[in-house]
Structure 1
């Protein structure tokens, strides 16, 4: 597949909890995640707002899942998002990516 699923699918942004170290926040590093898009979890961890809701949907996700969705902070997204499904942009999914897509009625990615 030639489409870049990671900048248009959005299924993972509405399927998983996203926790990360507070050192990735904009208040602590240039180009970090905006503090207002997170909630504290512990003294060291924060979570993207909306990712622990039922159903989950990250506050940074805009658009319709599987149709035209995008991360509004893509260049400043936290490390769990950067590390998730590294080959999806090439059309190669992994188990977590495929589970998220299936939850939203989308087919798994094929190599």
Structure 2
């Protein structure tokens, strides 16, 4: 695991899912933040990240090789679906879908995060 973040050696969600989101998240909208140049229009209300709408999928913002070392080139400006797909659930349990994707490329399953107990 890279720097304690399991996402930095995986990246499978970036090559498995269509990353679609409300058009207003793109930076051509008044309060948008996702770089519109990295998106494509799906319909009047939705966009998706370029590369994630065709098979084989690979989000244009993914840098590196899944299963080795990866990063998101727009991490601070990534769309809502990316922000809402955690490696671990709120209770510290691994996200089952994340573990399923990791298994496809031979990465070990994530283990639960033990909550830090206050002194």
Q: Indicate the residue corresponding to 1:38 in structure 2.
A: 39
Q: 1:29 & 1:14 partners in 2: Cα distance?
A: 29
Please state how far the C-alpha of 1:92 moved relative to its aligned partner.
4.7
Check 1:86–1:9 CA distance in 2 against 1; reply closer, same or farther (3 A cut).
Answer: closer
Q: What TM-score, normalized by structure 2, do the two folds share? A: 0.79
What residue number does 2:7 align with? 6
Shift of 1:29: 4.4
Unaligned runs of 5+ in 2: 113-119
Aligned to 2:55: 54
Higher relative contact order (CA closer than 8 Å, sequence separation 6+) = 1
Q: Following TM superposition, by how much is the alpha carbon of 1:30 offset from its aligned partner in structure 2, in angstroms?
A: 5.5
Structure 2: distance between partners of 1:68 and 1:9: 7
After the TM superposition, list the runs of 4 or more consecutive aligned residues in structure 1 that deviate by more than 6 angstroms.
none
Question: Number of matched residues?
Answer: 109
Q: CA deviation at 1:15?
A: 1.1
> Which structure 1 residue ranges, 5 or more long, are not aligned?
none
| SS of 2:82 mapped into structure 1 | helix
Contact 1:31–1:76 (Cα < 8 Å) also in 2: no
Mapping of 1:1-111 within 5 angstroms?
Answer: 3-29=4-30, 32-85=33-86, 87=88, 92-111=93-112
SS in 1 for 2:60: coil
Q: Secondary structure at the match of 2:29?
A: coil
CA RMSD of aligned residues (A): 2.2
* Distance across 1 between alignment mates of 2:87 and 2:106: 21
Q: How far did 1:104 drift?
A: 2.5
